[in-house]
Amino acid sequence: MLALASHFIPNNGGVWELIVKRRLDETEQLQLRAATHGIFNFSPGRRFGLADLPDSLKEQIRQRLAERRVVQHVPTEMTGLRVEQNAWRVVGIADGEALLRQRIRQPDGSRPVKEKRERTEKLIGPEPHNGTGKLKRNKAALIIPDNYGLALDPEPTIIPFHKLWTRLQDLKGANNSKTPRVLRNGQLIRVAESAGEYKGIWRVFSTKNAAVGFLVDMGRPDVVRLKNGVEGHKINVRLSSLLKHGVELVRSNYAGMAACPSTLSA
């Protein structure tokens, strides 16, 4: 409605004075019709109302609404360190996975033992760049819970939210000095028609590295929260399946218009 109003009704004080006046003589009626592209009509008593929109315009509105366009701001900020506040004890590391243990004091004074396994790429401490550090000496680690995104070049790689600029520059160097394509949460992707149930426009909710390979959680652009087994919601989709059919990374402006697609393929 805002877009239609801005198109049909110019930002002109004289025009708005005529709209507010409502009861217009013939000269004023002609003036208002000309200024507003005929969007207003008038009764024999010179009272006006909105004219019906052309069928072609209403059909265009229906088609645009059917696209379910949604714009989500995806921050480009790369600074900061996003880690959990409490350190974990590193019990052992094997095959790129660490066994972690933690004891946090509870309100009742107890300190129950918690254990979990995390991939080493999500940890800070066990393997510092300079070879030494307080966390390593204490056999401790901090977990990076957020991923910046999933780099597709030179091969799929999860990028933890830590030292992003350095990581991206390393990937660029390994990719023949070309900036790697990165799939990030909130981005829109367009999957080719040949992908069957995956075809169409989707919004990425998360990317992860699992035992079966890289997985993507995605939903239609207007989905707020993903649910399993619901139409328009896809959880744990193999990245390899999407790349096999061809995927476009769709950038949108704040009007929700798709622009500058970047083709992603295996």
206 and 226 assigned to the same domain: yes
214 and 231 assigned to the same domain: yes
In a domain, 83, yes or no: no
112 and 52 assigned to the same domain: no
231 and 181 assigned to the same domain: yes
**Side chain identity at residue 232, one-letter code:** G
- As a whole number of angstroms, the distance between CA 161 and CA 177 comes to 22
For residues 53 and 41, the answer to whether their CB atoms sit within 8 Å is no
258 CB contacts (<8 Å, ≥6 apart)? 188, 190, 201, 250, 251, 252
pLDDT in tens, the chain (266 residues): 777 777 788 887 788 888 887 678 888 888 888 888 888 887 777 677 788 888 888 898 888 777 777 777 777 777 767 788 889 999 999 888 899 999 888 888 888 899 989 888 888 888 887 777 888 888 899 988 878 889 988 888 888 888 888 889 999 999 999 988 889 888 888 888 888 889 888 999 988 888 888 999 999 988 888 998 888 899 999 999 888 888 888 876 665 554 444 445 44
- As a whole number of angstroms, the distance between CA 113 and CA 110 comes to 10
In a domain, 124, yes or no: yes
61 and 141 assigned to the same domain: no
- The count of domains in the chain is 3
- As a whole number of angstroms, the distance between CA 229 and CA 210 comes to 20
**pTM of the entire predicted model:** 0.63
49 and 94 assigned to the same domain: no
Domain holding 53, by residue range, is 2-66
260 and 185 assigned to the same domain: yes
141 and 157 assigned to the same domain: no
In a domain, 72, yes or no: no
- As a whole number of angstroms, the distance between CA 209 and CA 98 comes to 15
pLDDT of residue 254: 60
How many CB atoms neighbour CB 247 within 10 A?
A: 26
29 and 12 assigned to the same domain: yes
pLDDT of residue 256: 54
- As a whole number of angstroms, the distance between CA 118 and CA 99 comes to 7
193 and 223 assigned to the same domain: yes
pLDDT of residue 90: 92
pLDDT of residue 170: 92
Q: Which of 131, 158, 133, 128 is nearest to 145 (CA)?
A: 158
How many residues can be counted in the chain?
266
In a domain, 74, yes or no: no
For residues 137 and 125, the answer to whether their CB atoms sit within 8 Å is no
